[in-house]
Amino acid sequence: MIRHIVFFTAPAEQLEKVRAGLSILTAIPHARLLEIGTNLKTDQLGTDVDLVVYGEFDDEAALAAYKAHPDYQRSIALVRPIREMRMAADYESDGAVKRPLR
């Protein structure tokens, strides 16, 4: 499984427009799970990020299909001109929940 995480910042007056543009992504069928979330800013060192896109994909082909979808391009066209920062990471996961030893 591939986990896809993207962080965004936006000017306060554009935040809802960025969220609306990112919400287009949730209609793309290639993800197991896709969420658009607002950073709660509860971590004293992690208050810069405003919005998070979190997705889970079966494999790299599913992620590539997601990024090739016309709605992905539509979202980019709306969001890129008004967002400030975008930082993304994709990583492989076996999907297992790992708990620390006690």
pLDDT at 74: 98
Cα 81 to Cα 1, 54, 85: the distances in Å are: 31, 21, 11
Pick the CATH number of 2-41+48-92 from 3.30.70.100, 3.10.290.10, 3.90.550.10, 3.30.1330.60: 3.30.70.100
- Cβ neighbours of residue 94 under 8 Å, at least 6 residues apart? 1
Q: Are 88 and 55 in contact (CB under 8 A)?
A: no
For the chain, which residues make up each domain, given as ranges?
2-41+48-92
pLDDT at 102: 66
Per-residue burial over 6-35, b = 16 or more CB atoms within 10 Å of its CB, e = otherwise: bbbbbeeebbebbbebbebbeebebbeebe
In this predicted model, what pLDDT tens digit does every residue of 45-68 receive, in sequence order?
879 999 999 999 999 999 999 999
Which segments of the chain have a pLDDT < 50?
Answer: none
For all residues of the chain together, what is the average pLDDT? 94
pTM of the model: 0.89
